Every structure is written in structure tokens, then in C-alpha cells.
Structure 1
Amino acid sequence: MTTDALIDGLVRSAFEVMGVLTRLSAKHDLSLTQLRVLGILRDRRVRVTDLAAYLGLDKSTLSGLIDRAERRGLLARGKNPDDRRVVEVYMTPAGAELFERLEVEGRVALAPAIGRLDPKQQAELARLLELVLTPQ
């Protein structure tokens, strides 16, 4: 297999996954970026400035996104307990519940593709994806 074929396969699979995530986020009246934020915050509090940098957004754009999610009760802002000058964003219980539903729906939507692989192939794919996606 050539490098071009590998890259093509990776891109095609990314498009497939992004299609699933786009449909899921739209179904729950979320933007794809809001879904990404929920995924990032599922198990942590993050500085607003760090989150903006990670997403490649300017702070004002992210602030509007967080404002909308706060109005829906999905996210909240708070001071960092160690440095009161730092504002962090975190998921509320309602946000966590929504994200859990989205995870289940995503797994169901992607199961047919994964189901074409036997357990050994699935383990190998997971291992290879980890290698490809882990920064050097």
C-alpha cells in the first residue's frame, strides 16, 4: 500500500466520523465546535485561554460559544481555586448527561463500520490509530 493510499484512507475515515459527529451535534442543536468543547471538558476544567488556543479560536469567539452553552445549562465558568485570576470553564451535570448520550449515539452510529472487523483487527486498528494520532 502506498503512502497516498494510506493518507486517502485516513482522510476518508475522518470524513465518515466527522459526518456522524455533525449529524449528532445538529440533532442536539449543537455546533461541531460545541461538541468538541464538551468532549474536551468531559473530565476536566480548562482555562478559557488554553481552550481557545487548543481550538484555534480567538478568546472572544470562544466566549460567545461558552455564553450560549451556559444559557443552555451545559457549561459554566469559575475561578481556579489555586489562582483566582484565572477563569476556567467546565461541564455542568446537564452537559455531562448530554455528552454521555452523544457518546452512546456516536458509538451506535459507528458500530457498523467497526463491526466489519474481527476483534484482532479492531485491536490492531486501535493500536495503529494511537500511533498515528499521538503527537511526537
Structure 2
Amino acid sequence: MTWKSTSTGPLPRVRPEPGAASANRSLPSGPWTLQPAPKAEPTTMEIPVLSGATAALRRQKVAGLMEQMRHDLRGGHHLEAEALLRERLKASRVELAEERILALAESLRDVDRARAERERREAEEAAEAAEAAPAS
């Protein structure tokens, strides 16, 4: 029995060689081997998690980024708010004016642990420098 093909004519049915099927059962044989493999369903990494996630307005994207950053900074992210904000804006392709970026970073000051640690260190170094400086 043969399959009919519109482009190349009849194709012979694939049959295993005598003895080959019993020697190695892991190799598929038969006409189903010519059929394409079924396509896998997309995973959650390939499709948007929420409907409308790609259609958000710039204001909504910035609000979502700020909420996400507030959570990350509260958990002790290693970057300061301004650096993290610039990184996230670039990744999400959102352009904002420099003044707006600085204002948003300043609004995260209460949860910015990296910035608080840097300012504490700078204050300690300034106090040590003031003590070490000779009094005139």
C-alpha cells in the first residue's frame, strides 16, 4: 500500500526491516513516523499572564513599575531606587523626563534600604573626617 503525494507521487509505506523491530524497540517505525510531531502548548513565560498586559497606558505601566519596585526595595534589593527605576524603565521601553525619574525615585525613599545604608555610611565617614581634622 502506498500514500499519494501531490508533488512527488506515491510514497512507499515505511516498514521496519525484518528483525530490526525486535532488536531495537525504542526506534519508532511505521507510517506515523512521517507525521510531524505535535506542537507544544505555550508556557506562561511565552504568553502574557494577565489579559491586556501589553495594552497598558504609560501611566499604568509606571504605576505598576512603582508598585513592583516598592515591593522589591522593601525586600532589600541590592540597587538603589534610582538605578533600579532606570533599569526597569529601559526594560519596559517607557521613556520619562529626567525630573520625573528623580521625583519617582525620591518617592521611594522610605523603602530604599540601599540608599539609607549609603547615606548612613557617608554620615559616619564625614563624622570620622571631622574628628580627625585638626582644630584650628
Give 1 or 2: higher strand fraction.
1
TM over 0.5: no
Provide TM-score, normalisation by structure 1.
0.31
- More RCO (CA 8 Å, sep 6+): 1
Largest Rg, 1 or 2: 2
TM-score, normalised to structure 2's length?
0.31
Greater helix share, structure number: 1
